[in-house]
Structure 1
């Protein structure tokens, strides 16, 4: 198997030498070096590296601007930031720049190998999410229906879709972790009212209480599903963001960055729509 080809971008010759020595000691091949923005694209085009290591603090265009320019030139470029700077602001900027890894100086060889290995490894985790994600959310919904209403749920075949028109109350929950994602749960108002009455053991006081029930139910399902996926593979590190709820007039739910796969869930209260999807673009921090 050929060595992984790496290009180093750093304005300091000494820093480039230190990093090149560390990489070569671990068996990586250094195929190019650039000292900043002016030579970045030319060197990258000539050496065609597997990975680019990028310093942040450089005169003129910094590492974030260089990363954005490089990914504009080649959207498939794999960039690992290597810098002594590491805080919430720089991490957020790194994510916006689209880098795939972040190593803090001084570099530990074990962390170096781990990040490079993860960046270059076949994306089996993402493939697992793609193939098992919806089934896991189905199982989490079934468990939640049974525990909270003492009834059961059944499913129709999966439905790939890019847009969805709400039927009454739609809950959208973002998923955070190694891969970001989205889950959508939608139900007619009368279905939500029946579920709320069963869970509360009384009629809901008002529409707000019904909407709150739908949001909490979707949040419970998403949380259980993420926990189940994390239990199977700890590296996923999935967690849920606060839900967004849409209700009232029919709303078109569009997910421009995540391809959702959904299904209809038949319950004693009526039909519920459930969908989930994930996207690539993780950042590996060390």
Structure 2
């Protein structure tokens, strides 16, 4: 999915820099910065952003008038007022002009991104929001975790998983996700990959020196670290609605079927020299 485009309308260099910094680690990208109402209308027509952040005080017009001009060329424009002021009169006049949401400076990252996500969800869909903002951090966590734990590089395949179940033969580590959104992550691999993984992690040269219990325990510990890293990646952005992980549960066997009812689920497959290592991440619908 392409980045979600944001246009910033503000004549303050500092305010613009702060907004760009808050969006830097997200799937939102600043496509244009306008310092005047006239420039904002021109850039909106050229760039067609998904959402606009609007300051109240501009050199040639106020933010409400600028909003009217933008909505005259696009009645569906999503505009967020980001201003030092947020009194009842301003909110009332802003809503009449078509402003969708109001944030008062100074704003925190979580409030900004939450607001942008809610406004853009109708355009890009809940699945896309979950994929870009919540599932993708686990892709990075899996690659980084595998390299730091066992020193292997990986090529990753990532996408939505429309099945309502996961079939595993080997080992599966299930870790719950609490907070916002709720869900669960499953790290899995086949038995041969599990044994190779545990040998490297435990620095053993002889496969006979590792029991099946030690091998599964190694994967469980690694999964806990990897999923924890993914959650930390998310919490770095959404600072006020922290996600947490539950203690892991591990299943070893063949033809294991794990149900994923009412979850929007994504599969991540890391292809490595010791075999494929998978992560299945699902989020509760409606979150």
Give the TM-score of the pair, scaled to structure 2. Answer: 0.53
CA RMSD of aligned residues (A): 3.0
Q: Are 2:142 and 1:141 aligned?
A: yes
1:219 CA displacement: 0.9
| Distance of aligned partners of 1:229 and 1:157 in 2 relative to their CA distance in 1, 3 Å threshold | closer
Q: State the shift of 1:133 in Å.
A: 2.5
Tell me how many residue pairs correspond in the alignment: 171
Which deviates more from structure 2 when the two are superposed, residues 190-199 or residues 257-266? 257-266
1:238 partnered with 2:243: yes
Contact kept, 8 Å, 1:178 with 1:235, in 2: the verdict is no
1:262 aligns with 267
Deviations 1:69-120 (A, max 9, x none): xxxxxxxxxxxxxxxxxxxxxxxxxxxxxxxxxxxxxxxxxxxxxxxxx89x
How do 1:73-152 and structure 2 match up within 5 A? 122=118, 128-152=129-153
Quick check: 1:184–1:276 contact (8 Å CA) kept in 2? Answer: yes
2:229 counterpart SS class: helix
1:251 and 2:256 correspond: yes
Name the structure 1 match of 2:39.
Answer: none
In structure 1, stretches of 5+ residues that fail to align are: 1-24, 28-117
Does residue 274 of structure 1 match 2:279?
Answer: yes
Kindly provide the CA deviation profile for residues 183-217 of structure 1, in whole angstroms up to 9, marking residues without a partner as x.
11110011011011011111453111111111111
Q: Which residue of 2 aligns with 1:103?
A: none
Offset, 1:280:
4.8
Structure 2 gaps of 5+ residues are 1-86, 90-113
* Superposition deviation, residue 178 in structure 1: 2.1
Confirm or deny: 8 A CA contact 1:175 1:239 kept in the other structure.
yes
Deviation at 1:159, TM superposition (A): 4.7
Question: Taking structure 1 as reference, are residues 164 and 123 closer, same or farther at Cα in structure 2, changes over 3 Å only?
Answer: farther
Q: Residue in 2 aligned with 1:61?
A: none
Is 2:168 aligned against 1:166? yes
**Counterparts of 1:276 and 1:124 in 2: how far apart (Å)?**
22
* In 1: Cα distance, 2:231 partner to 2:158 partner: 22
Deviation at 1:124, TM superposition (A): 6.4
Question: Distance in 2 between the 1:199 and 1:239 partners?
Answer: 25
- Decide whether the 8 Å contact of 2:170 with 2:253 is kept in 1: yes
Counterpart pick for 2:187 among 185, 188, 195: 185
Aligned partner of residue 174 in structure 1, secondary structure: strand
User: How far, CA to CA, are the matches of 2:231 and 2:243 in structure 1?
Assistant: 6
Give the conservation status (yes or no) of the 8 Å contact 1:183–1:274: yes
- CA 1:168–1:148: 2 relative to 1, 3 Å: same
2-structure distance, mates of 1:207, 1:123: 49
Flag as ranges the 4+ runs of structure 1 deviating above 4 A.
Answer: 123-127
8 A Cα contact 2:178 2:243, kept in partner: yes
TM-score by length of 1: 0.53
8 Å contact from structure 1 (residues 162, 259) kept in 2 = no
Match for 2:213 among 179, 202, 208?
A: 208
Q: Secondary structure at the match of 2:169?
A: coil
